[in-house]
Each structure stands twice: as structure tokens, then as C-alpha cells.
Homo-oligomer: A and B are copies of this chain.
Amino acid sequence: MEKPNRNGYSRLREQIFTIIFEADTKAGKRFDVFLLVAIILSVLVVMLESVKTFSEHDHQIFVYLEWFFTAIFTVEYALRLYSVKNRWSYALSFFGVIDLLSILPTYLSLVMGGAQSLMVIRVLRLLRVFRIFKLAHLVTQSHILIRALRASREKISIFLFAVLLLTFVFGALMYFVEGGVNEKFDSIPRSIYWCIVTITTVGYGDISPVTPLGQALAAILMVTGYAIIAVPTGIVTSEMVKKVTRQNVTTQVCPSCAREGHDANAVFCKFCGSRINEEDK
């Protein structure tokens, strides 16, 4: 497909690269929007195909639509492979694998027959939507979110770990208390599943305690869950507030010792004592 015809072709490759991989040009943006629509429509097709009333009546339409979108994505995948500088690093990257998984199931269904399970893989196409985050200023906003989450990652891990320990201990207790009477608490893993359903306040009710002692324990677990939901919220919020209040610290550099982090109203460098603001600002 690709002919190494020197200058002419390499300029074409660059243009395709700019359109497909970048979003700065008009054509690049248009391509992103087109791809986004195609992805969403193809996922909608997969979703509707899983509804029995639709797939029984109009099975053929779904097959046509599926091949239509697969064709689009195959062309796109080929162009990506063609235009990218380092092919293997793209093909093995997160999005490279997702891109391949988006088209593979349809081709495999030719060989293996229409296996149900392949349909599910096709939903992974949706992950490609994350490319949209490249679009303009959405990046800034999501970066703030991601940074706040990353900053509180450790605290949240410890918190989740403590919550899981709690569910294990309570799960074993509930299995002991309810196990004999209530057939729903028939094993410790199921008890732990119930504990997680309870402490996160989801509360399906498919499993629920029936003995007075079990209900008392459940009540304690709920109130605990209710009180500790405050903890992750507090972690993330204080991290975000910290970011907001830090904005009062200037990025000014001391001309003498070159250190940063001075308050907005500082007159002298707090590290070396030399004047940083000539005029009393």
C-alpha cells in the first residue's frame, strides 16, 4: 500500500498524520468530530443489536450496519498505521490495541460464526471516545480533575483498603450470625459482597439480614458507611481547595538566590534576605 516515493508521499503522510492524530487544524477537528459520531453510532448499533426484539426482526440491517462501521474503522486504522512515524509503538499502545479490537471481532465472526461474546468486545470501541479529550480546552479542565485525584491517590488507597478490611471482618461476622438462618448468607464471599453493597449505600435488597442481631450489625455497618463517606470527599476537596489558595503565591523568582514560592505581598526574599520587590509593592 505504502510506496516510499520520497518527498511527495512523505508530505501526504505528514498531512494524513496531522488530520488523524492532531486536532489543531480545521481538517483535524472535523475528522475528530466525524470519528466521534461514527464511534457513538456504531456503539448504539451494538447496543440495539443486543435487544432481542430488534435483533430478531431486523437482523440483516444490523449485519449491514456492522460491516459499514467496520469498513470505516478499518480504513482509519490503515491510515493511522500508514501515517504514524513509529508503527510498532502505535500498534502496541493503549489506543492502538483498542483501535484493532474495534475491527477484529467483525472479521473473526466470518471465521468463527457470529459468536455472542465478540459483540461485547465491540463495545470497547467506546473507549476510543477518550480521544475526544484532545479537543481544545476540555484538556485543561480534565487535567485539574486528574491532578486533584492523583494528589489524593495515596490517601484514597489507604481509605479504600481500610474499608475493604472492614467489609471482610463484617462479612465473616454476618456469615456467622445469619448463615444458619438466612440462606442468602451462604458463604463468606457472598457476605462480603453484601457488606460492600451496604457500606457503599447501594442496598439492592437481594440479600438482607433477617435476624435481630444481623439487623443490628447491619445498622452499625450502615451508620459507619454513612460517617466515613465524608473521608474521600474531604480528601479530594481539601486537595482542590489547596490548589485554589495556592494561587496567592507568586511565581516570582528571587533575583539573588533564584528561589520561588514568595507570597504576593513579600518585599524581601524569604530565603536570602535580598530585596525582591524594588518598590514596596
Contact = CB atoms under 8 A, between A and B. Distances in A.
A42 to B, nearest CB: 12
A57 to B, nearest CB: 14
Nearest to A171: B123
Interface residues of A, number: 108
Contact of A230 (B175, B179, B235, B259): B235
Interface of A (DSSP majority class): helix
Contacts of A189: 47-48, 50-51, 212
Of residues A164, A198, A203, A262, which shows the largest number of chain B Cβ atoms within 10 Å of its Cβ?
A203
A97 to B, nearest CB: 15
A17 interface: no
Copy total for this chain: 4
A206 B271 CA distance: 64
Given A222-B202, A234-B236, A130 B173 contact: no
Contacts of A264: 260-261
Given A193-B215, A198-B202, A271 B267 contact: yes
B272 A268 contact: yes
A66 to B, nearest CB: 14
17 contacts: A43-B168, A52-B187, A123-B169, A130-B165, A148-B234, A160-B223, A197-B218, A201-B226, A202-B203, A202-B222, A204-B204, A229-B232, A231-B236, A233-B234, A237-B241, A260-B265, A269-B273
